[in-house]
Amino acid sequence: MIDDRVRVGLLGCGTVGAALVTLVGEQAESVAQRTGARLEITRIAVRDPGKERGAQIPKDLLTGDAAGVVGAADVDVVVELMGGIDPARKLLLGALEAGKPVVTANKELLAAHGGELLAAADRAGVEVEMEAAVAGAIPLVRPLRASLVGERIERIMGIVNGTTNYVLCRMTDDGMAYADALAEAQALGFAEANPAADVEGHDAAAKAAILAGLAFGCDVSADDVYREGITALRPVDVDFARRMGYAVKLLAVCERAAPDGAQRGGDGRARDGGPVISVRVHPAMVPLAHPLAAVRGAHNAVFVEGAASGELMFYGLGAGGRPTASAVLGDLVAAARSVLARRHATDGDGGAPVRAGLAGTHAGRPRARIRPMGELQTQYYLNIDVTDRPGVLASVAEVFGTHQVSIRSMEQDGPQGGVAHLIFLTHTAREDGVQATIEGLSHLDVVQHVGAMVRVAGGEDLP
């Protein structure tokens, strides 16, 4: 008779960890009935074992020795919810080398060292499960790794940070200033006291790197991701966007680059192997009719565009203890099933290692080749303050023209106190041309201030 218990070592027991302990308690019986795997949390590593915790955390499981949990004979699967790069990286590498599958919600670690972890997992023939690292409760990583593994993904475009989405919704719906909306989000507990990771796009960039790696089968790190936050946006920007039929959202975009230049084949793949992709995080104008425009508050939504599948969208809660723990539990069950599969296979004969689940999916991922941001082609929104005098528009328009940026529409607000506010929407243009235009405008005497530049999501391709 094969033992059906799968023993879990938990690293970290904050909001998500505590919710996971509760959830395993509630669902273990149902999971055992459905999958044959009997989950049992046997050890929990925390920084301070003496700290007072809720009644649902069994005190006798707590320890300060994380490495001991990873190495323990009564731990079959390691769940890492401690966050940060070190010591999480070493602990997970140790677990994988010991042949133990790992479940992690650590986006920072995965965006920095995902390739290393996946390679170690491949060598050991076990899995790194990571559903909770992107888009919280939403099943997105597994569909990308399993359901869509035969699909040629063309583009992923998503709202993956709830804090910035909440702030942008308040600015859009209620005309709030950025700072006020952020202060409110902080008061409500949606934003950290130090909001930089969210509002400057670092959190979204880490998630974009993970999604790009999964979608395009290559190694992408957070450093590869072009990143702009939402701090420069003013109510006037979201207001004009709305009047033009757009909602402003902080988007993570991962897409295959259009063939551009001799070094690439017609399939968007660099001739030496890795696909050429664009990975970026920035505020973007999303047409109001697009499903992403309707995503409210702290929700996340991710649009996936496949060559055969067409457009898919995954929507749900992107954060929170219980929703995130729900995603961790799904991963944990998958890891437990593969533990049992290996246990069955090697029962009594010590046969060859069994690759079950998703192990081996990422063998030998090439490094991604990142298209320079200057080659991006899309539409652009731009606003500038100019001195109100005859001939201004002509000199401004000349700068656009010099850099091959064609103006689709212009609106003038004011003049007030001698200053006119000009809002431009361009036709599809190249990023480097637009950047040169901004530079050129800033040198014109009549231009008093160059305000926000916002890209239009999906250029002119969107509905």
Residue 54 binds its own copies, judged by CB under 8 A: no
Tell which one of 57, 138, 185, 276 touches its own copies (CB under 8 A): 138
Site mask, its own copies, residues 114-133, x = CB under 8 A? Answer: -----------------x--
Tell me whether residue 193 is exposed, middle or buried, using C-beta atoms within 10 angstroms of its C-beta: 0 to 12, 13 to 18, 19 or more.
exposed
- Decide if 107 is catalytic: no
Residue 32 binds its own copies, judged by CB under 8 A: no
Tell which one of 294, 398, 401, 418 touches its own copies (CB under 8 A): 294
Site mask, its own copies, residues 306-325, x = CB under 8 A? Answer: x-xxxxxxxxxx--x-xx-x
Q: Which is nearer to its own copies, 53 or 362 (CB)?
A: 362
Residue 351 binds its own copies, judged by CB under 8 A: yes
SS3 for 336-400, per residue?
A: HHHHHHHHHHCCCCCCCCCCCCCCCCCCCCCECEECCHHHCEECEEEEEEEECCCCHHHHHHHHH
Tell me whether residue 321 is exposed, middle or buried, using C-beta atoms within 10 angstroms of its C-beta: 0 to 12, 13 to 18, 19 or more.
middle
Tell me whether residue 19 is exposed, middle or buried, using C-beta atoms within 10 angstroms of its C-beta: 0 to 12, 13 to 18, 19 or more.
buried
Residue 99 binds its own copies, judged by CB under 8 A: no
| H-assigned helices in 217-299 | 235-243
Tell which one of 253, 356, 422, 429 touches its own copies (CB under 8 A): 356
- What's the Cα-to-Cα distance from 153 to each of 115, 195, 213, 275, 316, rounded to whole Å? 20, 32, 11, 12, 21
Subset of residues 139 to 178 that bind its own copies, contact rule: CB under 8 A? 139, 142-143, 146-152
DSSP assignment letter at 61: G
Distance CA 297, CA 159 (A): 11
Angle at 39 between CA 35 and CA 40, to 5 degrees: 165
Tell which one of 217, 235, 287, 459 touches its own copies (CB under 8 A): 217
Q: Which is nearer to its own copies, 220 or 332 (CB)?
A: 332
Contact in structure between 137 and 323 (CB atoms under 8 Å): yes
Residue 363 binds its own copies, judged by CB under 8 A: yes
Task: Give least dist CB 378 to its own copies, A.
Answer: 24
* Binding span for its own copies by CB under 8 A among 60-68, 184-192, 356-364, 397-405: 356-364
**Residue 415, preceding bond cis, omega within 30 degrees?**
yes
Distance of CA 270 to the CA centre of its chain: 24
* Binding span for its own copies by CB under 8 A among 90-98, 204-212, 227-235, 346-354: 346-354
* Binding span for its own copies by CB under 8 A among 44-52, 172-180, 349-357, 454-462: 349-357
Q: Which is nearer to its own copies, 143 or 229 (CB)?
A: 143
Q: Which of 59, 100, 107, 207 is catalytic?
A: 207
The catalytic residue positions are 207
